[in-house]
Amino acid sequence: MKFRIPVACLVSLAMLFIAHPAVSAPSGSCAEASVSITTGTDTVAPGTTIGILGRGTNCSSSKKRYTVSFSAMSDCGQKVDIASSRIMFSAGQSYMFPVSYPLPYNTCTGAWVATVAISDQGSVLTTGTTTIIIK
C-alpha cells in the first residue's frame, strides 16, 4: 500500500508531460545584410552587365544555415530573382557574395533596386537594398 501513492503520482506526472509536450525555444537567429552595385558609373544602359556585391553576417552566438537571395525591381515593376543559395555561417561569421548580372535589354529606364535578403526557414531576417539608375 505504501508504494501505490508514489506510483500513482509518477503516472499522473507522466500523463501530464505526454499531454503537454515541451515547447522549443526560439532559434535565436540573427543576421545582417548589405548590398552594393559595381558599375563604375551612377547610371547604366539596359544590356549592361553589372556586379552586385552582397554581404551577410550571422550575428547569433551559434552556427546557422541561412538562405541568401538576390532580387531586383525596376521602376516600372519588372521583378527578377537573380540568385539564391543556402549557406552555413559560423557564429559571428560574415560572407561576401559577388553576383554578375546582365540587365535585360527590355529593362525600363529609371531606378533599379537590388535587394539581398537573408532568411531562416522561410522567414526573412534582414534585407539590404541599393539603387542604380537605368538610362
pLDDT tens readout for residues 18-52: 333 333 334 577 899 999 988 878 899 999 999 99
pLDDT tens readout for residues 45-80: 999 999 999 999 999 999 999 999 999 999 999 999
- Integer Cα distance of 19 and 107 in angstroms: 57
Q: What is the CATH number of the domain that holds 62?
A: 2.60.40.10
Neighbour count for residue 68 (Cβ, 10 Å):
21
Domain range enclosing 102 = 31-134
Evaluate whether 54 touches 33 at the Cβ level (below 8 Å): yes
Number of H helices, E strands in the chain: 1, 8
Q: Please state the domain count of the chain.
A: 1
Instruction: Tell me the residue type at 23.
Output: V
Question: Is residue 4 a part of any domain in this protein?
Answer: no
Question: Is residue 35 a part of any domain in this protein?
Answer: yes
Question: Is residue 105 a part of any domain in this protein?
Answer: yes
Question: Is residue 18 a part of any domain in this protein?
Answer: no
